[in-house]
Amino acid sequence: MSPLLSPTDLRIREAIRAAMEAESPRLTQQALADRLSISQPAVAALLAGRRGQIPQSLVDLLDALGLEITLQPRSSGSEG
């Protein structure tokens, strides 16, 4: 069973899925895995929240400071 994810974790995973859908053609888990040099099951675990969770202490810190993580596409000139 997948662990309970914080709202921050959920928003990040939703943004990643949306970015994958927005690519033309749609970016598959396998294609993303190839870009990251990891396996497709590892990508699936990341997207499902079984790996790569944001530490609760960081989520608590963000909440205490009234901050949130926002994701947006890089500007076209940014690499890195």
| Predicted TM-score (pTM) of this structure | 0.76
Smallest CA-to-CA distance from 59 within 19, 3, 17, 11 is with: 11
For the chain, where are the alpha helices, taking DSSP H only? 7-22, 29-36, 40-48, 56-64
Write out pLDDT tens, residues 59-74.
899 999 999 888 888 8
> Could you give the percent of the chain with pLDDT greater than 90?
61
Is the separation of the CB atoms in 21 and 68 below 8 Å?
A: no
Residue 1 pLDDT more than 80?
A: no
How confident is residue 78, by pLDDT bands cut at 50, 70 and 90? low
